[in-house]
Amino acid sequence: MTSQFTDDQGREPGQWWRGASIYQIYPRSFQDTNGDGVGDLPGITDHLSYIADLGIEAIWISPFFTSPMKDFGYDVSDYRNVDPIFGTLADFDRLVKKAHGLGLKVLIDQVMSHTSDQHPWFKESRSNRTNPRSDWYVWADSRPDGTPPTNWQSVFGGTAWAWEPRRRQYFLHNFLESQPDLNFHNEAVQAQVLEESRFWLERGVDGFRFDACNFHFHDPFLRNNPPARGKALEVSSVRPGNPYGFQLHRYDKTRPENIPFLKRLRKLLDVYGAASVGEVGDEDSLVTMAEYTSGGDKLHMAYGMHLLTDDFSVKRIRDAVEAFERKIKGGGGWACWSLSNHDCVRVATRWGNGTQDPAFPKVLLAMLGSLRGSFCVYQGEELGLTEAVVPKDRLTDPYGIAFWPDFKGRDGCRTPIPWTPEAPLGGFSTVDPWLPMPPEHLPKAVACQAGDPGSILNFYRTFLAWRRNHPALRTGSIRFVRAEEPLMVLVREVPGQRITAVFNLGPEPAEYTLPAGVHPLPGHGLEGTRLEGRRLALPPWGGFFGLHHLSSKQ
């Protein structure tokens, strides 16, 4: 049994992003060059050649803007400046120039849905009800008994409303209380955030990752969210003990008014030939991803949380890709898949079940790079880094501090990158870093793996370079061939090239019978697979790429 999806748009000049590999950099933890224990922009610049040598095509830099760092940069107090802990605007300009010289595109985070409460806009807005920016944020009167105006919950737990005594009103914060939500129903707000993006486009960035891009608008009638029940409750309860999952978020996000704004945003991006990838946090994110990327007039790419959960199975991955492809049929939408980022447990731990086999992260990259869409690699995945255990007294993430010990937060995936194996700092800094360097990461340092032909790092270099030469894996149609768990079998095709990929996503050897006319496609770096006739024997966490012989009529 198979399912077929066609490449209905193709890759055209200017569509570098279609099928591209993107490397996410979390600046605080990449490289510290000034000895304060926090990574910085010069540290990124110093290692751009390392990233380019991976075969990566673009970098995405998490926020480095001026911020009180309550949510580590996702609470912006000045959209047009670099926070001093990261450097200066001149440092950023040097970073962009060097990246472009190495052939790397530069995407930066834009946090539009909310600001810091230290932003001048909010300071003015909260002062009274009559100032020029009085309605730049979401303000509402209390209920008659003084309680919040709706039942909406914050992603970080508890009510999404906070009281401001100067206005005698509540303001909305979908995240931390120190992250008030902008009022996108106000035309002036929309115009202003577009100008904040234009500032960086003028400085040469190639595009943006838009944080929480389905949170821009709220229901103007302030209707209560309905409760989540049954299957919906299971899907939405993403964190133990967090009441956010008890609701269907019908009125506090993913509102229809967002579509016209995204179209307006796309027009700005098109002026500069810039690309975009949107983060979609939603109960049915595949629907929203398809809606936000179809038609060629909104976002270029989007990603959801389907591959960032604890559920690891071929079925989970295949169902997500197939569902998205069905929803975009004929509409040209495009996904950007990822297995890890700065908000979730590292995939080597989340899906690895404790395995130390280096074949596991290798086959995950090969599988990810074979799905139809673009994909993100989170810093450290190329080293096979596992989730760190951060002691309670070193936790910094407010999310983890609030829900510890059931949920220990996001610090474990944000620890510093080990460049060298020397304890205790691994070449990241000369002082104790903002998060501890995990001792178990030191043997996986870049310097340890760089000279080892069989290392995870060198597999990344081999595979990503190899993949760039195969258009079927970048833009082709995708067809999944049904196979028993833990085998994943898929076919990618463009005119003139058809590739079959077979992955054993399990810890035991497996076998598969190839169709006739498939020949091994060498050079990808996966090892240990044997082919006798059409019988394929795959080692644990093994993979195979085969090229079909196509007749002139095909």
| Residue range 267-315, pLDDT digits in tens | 999 999 999 999 999 888 999 999 999 999 999 999 999 999 999 999 9
Q: What confidence score (pLDDT) does residue 330 get?
A: 77
pLDDT reading at 343 higher than 80: yes
State the average pLDDT over residues 9-35. 89
246 and 233 in contact (C-beta within 8 Å)?
yes
CA distance 25 to 108: 10
pLDDT reading at 3 higher than 50: no
Percent of the chain whose pLDDT exceeds 90: 92
Q: What confidence score (pLDDT) does residue 551 get?
A: 58
Model confidence over 237-277: pLDDT tens digits? 456 679 999 999 999 999 999 999 999 999 999 999 999 99
Which of 3-7, 213-217, 432-436 is least confident?
Answer: 3-7
pLDDT reading at 554 higher than 60: no
CA distance 68 to 253: 25
Q: What confidence score (pLDDT) does residue 331 get?
A: 85
Q: What confidence score (pLDDT) does residue 4 get?
A: 45
pLDDT reading at 550 higher than 90: no
| Residue ranges covered by each domain of the chain | 18-113+186-218+253-465, 473-548
pLDDT reading at 63 higher than 60: yes
SS3 state of residue 281: coil
State the average pLDDT over residues 540-545. 98
User: Band of the pLDDT at 9, cuts 50, 70, 90?
Assistant: very low
Contacts of 515 (CB under 8 A, 6+ apart): 500, 534
Q: What confidence score (pLDDT) does residue 80 get?
A: 98
CATH class, domain 18-113+186-218+253-465, is alpha beta
User: Band of the pLDDT at 5, cuts 50, 70, 90?
Assistant: very low
Mean per-residue pLDDT over the chain, rounded: 95
pLDDT reading at 10 higher than 80: no
State the average pLDDT over residues 189-208. 98
Question: How many degrees, rounded to 5, is the angle at CA 350 between CA 346 and CA 351?
Answer: 115
Model confidence over 437-476: pLDDT tens digits? 999 999 999 999 999 999 999 999 999 999 999 999 999 9
CA distance 26 to 74: 12
**What letter would DSSP give residue 227?**
B
Question: How many degrees, rounded to 5, is the angle at CA 103 between CA 101 and CA 104?
Answer: 105
CATH of 473-548, one of 2.60.40.1180, 3.30.9.10, 1.25.40.90, 1.10.3720.10: 2.60.40.1180
CA distance 387 to 70: 22
Token pair for residue 518? 């498939």
Q: What confidence score (pLDDT) does residue 14 get?
A: 82
pLDDT reading at 172 higher than 90: yes
pTM here is 0.96
Q: What confidence score (pLDDT) does residue 348 get?
A: 97
pLDDT reading at 190 higher than 90: yes
Identify the burial level of 411 via C-beta atoms within 10 angstroms of its C-beta, where 0-12 means exposed, 13-18 middle and 19 or more buried: buried
Q: What confidence score (pLDDT) does residue 545 get?
A: 98
Between 3 and 38, the more confident residue is 38
Model confidence over 399-426: pLDDT tens digits? 999 999 889 999 999 999 999 999 999 9
Q: What confidence score (pLDDT) does residue 240 get?
A: 63
Q: What confidence score (pLDDT) does residue 208 get?
A: 98
